[in-house]
Structure formats: C-alpha cells, structure tokens
Structure 1
Amino acid sequence: MVEILRARDMGFCMGVRRAVQMMEAEASPERQVFSVGEIVHNPHVVRALETRGVVQLPGPDEVDGDIGKATAERVQRGRVAITAHGVGERVVRELEASGLEIIDTTCPIVTRAQRYGQKFVREGYHVLIFGDPGHKEVRGIVGWTVDGSGRSAATIVPDASLESLRRLVEEFPGGFPNKVGVMAQTTHKMEDFARFVANLMLLRRDYNFEIHVVNTLCHATTGQQEAAAELARRVDVMIVVGGKKSANTRHLREVAEEQGTRAYHIEGPEELEPAWFAGVERIGLTAGASTPDFSVDAVEARIRELVGAGA
C-alpha cells in the first residue's frame, strides 16, 4: 500500500489568508474591487476571487507613468486593492492622489520589511536586500528606500556566495559604503540569508564597517520549509503544490531536493504524471503559502487515483 503523507506545516500563511479574507469581505459582483496586480501568486485563488467580484488590473510594473491616474481611468469610481506583496511608496501616494478608495492587503510582515528599509535610509545606511530582483515584494521594498535626492539607496543582491559578494564589493559605484543595513526577501531560506550575512562580514573584516542586520524572513515560510525538509527525508518523492510564480513554493521544492528526494512543483492535479510514482512506497505532499486547501485536496485525490491508495 502506497502512503501519502502531508507536511505538518503547509498551505495558506497568515498574510495570504488575511488578503483573501479582506477581498472576500469587500467584493461582490454588484460592488467590485479592482486589484492592482495579482492579489497572491496562485491562479486558483485569483480565479476564485474573480467570481466574487475582484477584477485584476495591470500592476505597477505594467503601467507607464502615474499608476494612480492609469488606475482611475480604468475604474472611474470605486475601490482598488494593493496586493499582499505590497508596493513602493510612490505607488501608494499616486493611488491616494487618484481619489479612489484604497484597500491595503499588504502582508504585515512585508510592511515591516518596508518600514525597516525606510528607517535604514533615514539613518544614513545603504540597504542591501538579499532577494530576487524580479520579485514584486522586493521591488516594493526598494520603493520605500528613496533618499533625499529622490534615488533609491538600496541594492538587491540575488546570490549569497562569497564570489558574488566579492564582485559586489569590488565593483560598487563610488566604493562600498561603510554603513550598511541588511535585510532579506521574506520568503527566502534562513540558511541562505545566514550565509549571505556571514560572507559579507568575512569580506569586510579588515575594514571599519558598520552593519545592521534585520531578520525580515517570514516565520510561517521558515516553518513550512523545515516541515518540508523533515517530510522529504521520510518519503520517496515530494509533490509541492502552488503557483509557478510563487517564490516560497519554489523554495519548498529546493528544500526537498536538498534532502536528496525527487520533488515536483505543480499548480494542479492535471500536471501529475503516473511515472513519478512508479515503485514508490511513500509520497510526500506540501504546499506554498498562497495555496488553498482545495488545491491540495484535489492533488491528493488525483494521486490516490494514480497509485490506487486507499482513502
């Protein structure tokens, strides 16, 4: 008999659940809410919210010029929602100036990271953000690090390796700053962030160097990664359920693979392949922080059909 085991910690995190609940409470087909980009990185959740009256508009990166004016032209009168990943300060101010009612679903943990970025700049630090330069959350945080000259005082660093950081330090325009505030994309792995900080300290050990490190990682995401690693060590194959755009879901797959376990990242049951389960005895199942329970249930039901596992 094939066993299907779920991770002890998986699925909707507090920030995503809060954003979805806010949209469900505010929107209806008769009184729509317009989302500036995807509320969360999960197509199933986005489609479910659309049936409730949430209309997705282009996000800040898809609009040239004033996002407030562009949104107001589409909405006329109504309410707009800032997504769970958050946006930069300029976007917030332009939306406020548009005269539209704003519903802010930014995850509180992301808001905390934004405020730290803002605080660092005000205190004269250059901000180093360990994160993905293309991620909405990271770009939003950068938008809160504008200095008195109107330019961002932040640098996004995607790689924690010693060699990558050495190039950053050596090639930094105008010389590497001696006051640095360090933070991370909230969905990154603790081990990678710790390596980033350690390597940075190692490179600057011979300099008069001030570094202020803030742990901006999401505890829920960290807990899910630990649970995924624990389960991966006990199974033959791991199935990770979540949106392909979801960074924290991709990290769950990476965590599973780091345990030496085959892992597959899917959005829904239609992507499952029977060959993945040939000869296996235990199948692990986990899900990203923006993955609803019904998606996980559907995937598990399909796995049971494929392998003939009992209920």
Structure 2
Amino acid sequence: MTVTIDKNSGYCFGVEFAIQMAEDELANEPTLYCLGDIVHNSMEVERLHQQGLRIIGREQLQELHDCKVLIRAHGEPPETYALALRNNLELIDASCPVVLKLQNRVKHAFDTTNRQQGQIVIYGEPGHAEVAGLNGQTGNRSIIVMKEEDLDQIDFTRPVTLFSQTTKSTKGFYRMKELIEERITAAGGELTSFDANDSICRQVSNREPALTRFAAQHDVIVFVSGRKSSNGKALFGVVSQHNARSYFVENDEELDEAWFQNVGSVGICGATSTPMWLMQRVADRIAQIGEVQPA
C-alpha cells in the first residue's frame, strides 16, 4: 500500500504568517494572549499552548490591560482596535493581507452604497471570525447569507453588493449570485443595481481543482482538518464528491483500520488550517496499519 501526502495541502500564507508571529513572540515572552483560536485545528492550538499561547474570548479581552494580544489571520472589526487603545493593549496584528484588503473593499462599498439605500450582503458563515470582522466594517449592518432561505432578508428592489468570506466554496458563491439575480428579476428590479464580488482567496479556490485530481488518483482519501474549520468543510466536500471512500479525521487517533483493508493507495490531504506535521503523523500511522494488513 502506498501512502501519499498532497503537496498542495497544508497552511495557506495567512495562517502560516500568524503562527510564525506567535512563535516569534513566544521565543521572548512566557505568555502571549490570542483572541480566539489562532487556527481551527485543536492539535496545533495545543502545541502552541505548550509554548505559552493562551486563547481568550471577547469577555476576557475586556478585562485585559497593559499586555500583548495576537490578532489572528481572520481579522477583527474596528471595535477591537478601539478597545485595545482604551486598555493599553499592544496588538500583534497577524491579520491576513487578503482579509485586510477585503475589509477595506467592504468598508468602501458600504460608505458608497449607503447613500443610495444599498445593502451589503456577505456570503459566509454566521458567527465566523472573518465574517464578524467584515460585518464590523458596515457597523454590523451587512446581511449574512449561507443558504437560499437567508436571502429572504434582502430587499431586492434596492441595490445589492455581494462579497464572499475568503474561504468559502467558489461553486457556492456563484450559486448564491445566481439565486440573487433570479430574485431581483422576479421582484422587478434592475440587474444593473447588483454588484457581485468574487472575493474568495485564490490560494483557497485554486485548491479545489487540484484536490479533485488528487482524490481521483487514490483508492482511499483521508482528509485531515479541525471540525471547526469552514475551509475544511468546504474542501472535504470537494474530495468526497470525487471519491466515495473519503474520510474526515482530526488526528491519527480517529483512523479506522477497516478503511485500509485490501487498498492499493491512500491519499492524505487537508485544509488551509491543517499543519503538515499532523498530516505526516496520520501518514505514518496508516503506513503502520498497512504493514500488518493480511495479504
């Protein structure tokens, strides 16, 4: 049995940058606070916890003063920066440049369309950290949509500007765009008042065709990701669509030996929040299973 790790899987630039910033700070500081999980992967969060990274929530942030706080790759709304000024917090800002650029685009679009009674719509997961940061650019007045029924919140007789969370599925975004166009037409509105912006990160969207090919090349696919990862859910949907024998695991302890009985090749891949060391650990465990398989 051969076991192959997808060379295109693993951290995107934004996550890698945030983790490097955390490790650089922890090399000189015993403790560093991070607002929310630095990455949606419990194994990596635990590894960094052992180095001194402490994950905090927004209520804890309110109580902190005179210390350093890491802003993770997902970005933050304006009120977080205002609070940091009030509490004399030094922010180690690891916001992904792609997310920061999108925040600026959302803010500019909101300021422009607000004068025309327009609406900002974000295709993304409600409650997700990146979506909260984007919504903050509109004073929390954007409309968050994930499913078709969420579109009921929109007034289709008024201008609509659509953006996407950077880690969502490209296919899902264009399906949402199509549904909005249908509803505008049905409401008697003008499609010229609809501005759809494909703001999905290309490091994310380019992985979909590569994963499609990778999934088809192996008998079994093991997809490694934290279950809280929005990107992980989207990419696992891609591999499972093209290989029915695809399995989602958070770590090597979740592997089932039955998956690998009489299998010629196993492919291992993961989300943009999955560390390469974890995929290697999964690969090593599968190789051990393969060695003891009956011929």
TM-score computed with the length of structure 1 as normaliser? 0.85
Q: CA deviation at 1:285?
A: 0.9
- Is it true that 1:204 corresponds to 2:184 in the alignment? yes
Question: Which 4+ stretches in 1 moved above 4 angstroms?
Answer: none
8 A contact 1:120–1:126 mirrored in 2: no
Q: CA deviation at 1:28?
A: 3.6
In 2: Cα distance, 1:212 partner to 1:23 partner: 38
RMSD: 2.1
- Residue 149 of structure 1 corresponds to none
In 1: Cα distance, 2:232 partner to 2:245 partner: 15
- Residue 144 of structure 2 corresponds to 156
In 2: Cα distance, 1:136 partner to 1:101 partner: 20
- Residue 123 of structure 1 corresponds to 112
Equivalent residue of 1:11, what SS?
Answer: coil
Q: CA deviation at 1:29?
A: 6.8
- Is it true that 1:283 corresponds to 2:263 in the alignment? no
- Residue 15 of structure 1 corresponds to 14
8 A contact 1:187–1:247 mirrored in 2: yes
In 2: Cα distance, 1:203 partner to 1:142 partner: 23
Q: CA deviation at 1:176?
A: 3.3
Ranges in structure 1 where 5+ consecutive residues have no aligned partner:
147-151
State the identity as a percent. 28
- Residue 279 of structure 2 corresponds to 296
- Is it true that 1:89 corresponds to 2:78 in the alignment? yes
Distance 1:68 1:277, change over 3 A: closer
Distance 1:55 1:179, change over 3 A: same
TM-score computed with the length of structure 2 as normaliser? 0.90
- Residue 247 of structure 1 corresponds to 230
In 2: Cα distance, 1:252 partner to 1:69 partner: 35
Distance 1:229 1:266, change over 3 A: same
Q: What is the CA deviation profile of residues 256-282 of structure 1, one whole-angstrom value per residue up to 9, with x for unaligned ones?
A: 111142221112111100011123222
- Which one-letter code corresponds to 1:201 in the other structure? E
Q: CA deviation at 1:30?
A: 4.1
- Which one-letter code corresponds to 1:158 in the other structure? M
Aligned pairs (5 A) from 1:258-277: 258-277=241-260
8 A contact 2:220–2:243 mirrored in 1: no
- Residue 228 of structure 1 corresponds to 211
- Residue 194 of structure 1 corresponds to 174
Q: What is the CA deviation profile of residues 163-191 of structure 1, one whole-angstrom value per residue up to 9, with x for unaligned ones?
A: x36xx34x54xx43522111111111111
Equivalent residue of 1:204, what SS?
Answer: helix
- Which one-letter code corresponds to 1:199 in the other structure? L
- Is it true that 1:53 corresponds to 2:52 in the alignment? yes
- Residue 27 of structure 1 corresponds to 26
Q: CA deviation at 1:68?
A: 5.0
Indicate which of 116, 125, 138 corresponds to 1:145. Answer: 138
- Residue 112 of structure 1 corresponds to 101
- Which one-letter code corresponds to 1:70 in the other structure? E
In 2: Cα distance, 1:281 partner to 1:247 partner: 31
Number of residue pairs aligned between Structure 1 and Structure 2 = 286
In 1: Cα distance, 2:30 partner to 2:6 partner: 38
Distance 1:138 1:201, change over 3 A: same
Equivalent residue of 1:123, what SS?
Answer: helix
